[in-house]
Structure 1
Amino acid sequence: MVNANKIVVAVKGVIVNEGKVLLVKRAEDEVGGGTWECAGGKIEFGEQLESALMREVLEETGLSVTVERILYATTFHTDPTRQVVMLTYLCSSNSKTVTLSKEHTDSRWCTKEEMKLLLTPKIMKEFENHNVFALEPLI
C-alpha cells in the first residue's frame, strides 16, 4: 500500500523596512484566497532553507531580502493527508517597491496594529505565541 500522506516544508519571511512589515494578499483562486500573509513558499528539493526563502520572496514580491534569523517553526494540517512544516524568518529589505506575482493581488507595509487587523487569527496566534510583535525593529 502506498502512503498517501504528504509533508510540505515552507518558509515565510517577516520582511521589515523602516519599522513596517510587508504583508501580501493571496489571490482568490489560490489556497487561502483573499487572506493576508507574509511572503514565502515551499522549498524545492535540494534547496537550502534561507536560499528558498530569498527565491520565494523575490518571485512573489520582486524584493531582494537579507535573512536575519529564524523566528519560529510550526506545523499544521491543511487536510487529513497533508502536513505543512512552516519556518518563519525575520528578514530585512532596503526597498519598499513591491512587484507582485499572480499568487497575490495586493501588498501593504504595515505597522504592528495594522498587521493585527489584517492577519488571520491562526497567524496572529502564532505571532503572539512566538513574540513576533515584540521584535525590536517593529514599531
Structure 2
Amino acid sequence: MAHVHVETWRTAYRGLVPDSVLDALSVQERTAMWERGIPRGGVWVGLVDGEVAGFCAVGPAREPDAAFEIFAIYVLPSAWGTPLSYELARAALGDEQDVVLWVFDENPRARRFYERLGFRADGLVKTETIGGVELKEMRYRFSGPGTRRGTR
C-alpha cells in the first residue's frame, strides 16, 4: 500500500504539488503510517496479479454534516483506466448514502472519476498548504439512493 501511495502521489500530483515534496516521499514513512492506520479498519486493497495495485480508505466523516467519508483512493498509474478504482470504491462504500470526500480542484482526472460515481461538488472549499504551495480542495458529496452510477 505504501508503494502505491507514494507512486500515485508522484504521478497524479506532479505539477500540482511541489517536486521537492513528491521526491521526498518515502515508502518507509508511508508504511509506518499505514501500519498505524490499518488496524482501525476501513481500508480495502485491490490486487493485480497478486500484488497490491490500489487501495481505498474510508470511515466516519470528519465534518458533522455528513455520515461517511472517503479519505483516499489511490491506484497505480498502470491500473488507471481499468475497473479497479470503481471496484474499490463500490466495495468500500457499500450501501452508504451520505458520503463526502475532498479533492484538489486542479485534479480533473479525480474529479471526473468521482462524478462518474455520482458525487457532486457541494460548494465547500478549503485550502491546504503543501510544501509552501496553497492548494484549493473542493468537497464532493454523494447523497440519496439511486444516484451513484459507478458502472463501467
**Could you state the TM-score of these two structures normalised by the residue count of structure 2?**
0.28
If each structure's strand is expressed as a fraction of its own residues, which one has the higher value? 1
Q: Higher relative CO (CA 8 A, sep ≥ 6), structure 1 or 2?
A: 1
Name the one with the larger helix percent.
2
What TM-score do the two structures reach when normalised by structure 1?
0.29
